[in-house]
Amino acid sequence: MVRVTITQVAARAGVSVASASRALNGLIASPETAAKVRDAARELGYVADATAQSLKRGRTLQLGYAVADIGNPVYVEMMAAIEQVVSASGYRLLLSSTGTGSSSVDVVRDLGRGYVDGLIISPLRVTDELLTALAAAPIPFVVLGRLPDSAAFDTVRADSPTAMRLVVDHLVAEGRRDIAFVNGPADTTPGAMRRDGFIDAVAKHADLRTRRIDSLDFTIAAGYDAALPLLDRPDRPTAVVAANDLIGVGVLRAAEDLGLRVPVDIAVTGLDNTELAEVVRPGLTSVDLGAKERGRAAAEMLLARIADAARPPQSVTVPPALVVRGSSSASAPSALRRLEPVDEERAHG
CA 233/CA 117 separation, integer angstroms = 54
Tell me the angle at which helices 245-257 and 220-231 cross, rounded to the nearest 10 degrees: 40
How many residues belong to the site for DNA (CB under 7 A)? 32
Which residues inside 193-232 make contact with a copy of itself, applying CB under 8 A?
A: 220
Comparison of 35 and 47: residue with beta carbon closer to a copy of itself: 47
3 binds DNA (CB under 7 A): yes
Count of residues near a copy of itself by CB under 8 A: 52
Pick the piece of the chain touching a copy of itself (CB under 8 A) from 107-115, 143-151, 315-323, 338-346: 107-115
The answer to whether 50 touches 36, Cβ cutoff 8 Å, is no
With H, G, I as helix, E, B as strand and everything else as coil, classify residue 327: coil
* Binds a copy of itself (CB under 8 A): choice among 17, 22, 38, 92: 92
Question: Measured from the CB atom, is 102 or 315 closer to a copy of itself?
Answer: 102
How far does Cα 107 stand from its chain's mean position? 17
Concatenating the DSSP letter of every residue in 86-112 gives HHHTT-EEEEEE-SSSS-HHHHHHHGG
Quick one: which H or E segment has residue 64?
Answer: strand 62-67
Of the candidate residues 307, 309, 310, 336, the single one contacting a copy of itself (CB under 8 A): 336
Distance linking the first and last C-alpha atoms of the chain: 75
Contact 6/24 with Cβ under 8 angstroms? yes
* Residue ranges in 30-89 that form contacts with DNA under rule CB under 7 A: 30, 32-34, 46, 48-49, 52-53, 55-58
| Number of residues assigned to the chain | 349
Cα gap 261→195, rounded to integer Å: 26
Q: 294 to 333, contacts with DNA by CB under 7 A?
A: none
From candidates 8, 11, 38, 62, binder to a copy of itself by CB under 8 A: 62
Spatial CB neighbours of 264, under 8 Å, sequence gap ≥ 6:
330, 339, 340, 342, 345
Distance of CA 28 to the CA centre of its chain: 44
Which of a copy of itself, DNA, none does residue 284 bind to, with CB < 5 to 8 Å depending on kind? none
Task: Single out the residue of 11, 22, 70, 304 in contact with DNA (rule: CB under 7 A).
Answer: 22
User: Binding pattern to a copy of itself, positions 254-293, x when CB under 8 A?
Assistant: --x------------------xx--xxx------------
Q: What is the 3-state secondary structure (H, E, C) of 229-253?
A: HHHCCCCCCCEEEECCHHHHHHHHH
Instruction: List the Cα angle 256/262/268 in 5-degree steps.
Output: 100
Which residue ranges make up the site for a copy of itself (CB under 8 A)? 1-3, 45, 47-52, 54-55, 60, 62, 70-71, 73, 76, 79-80, 83-84, 87-88, 92-97, 100-102, 109-110, 112-115, 136-138, 220, 249, 253, 256, 275-276, 279-281, 336
Which residue ranges make up the site for DNA (CB under 7 A)? 3, 5-7, 14-25, 27-30, 32-34, 46, 48-49, 52-53, 55-58
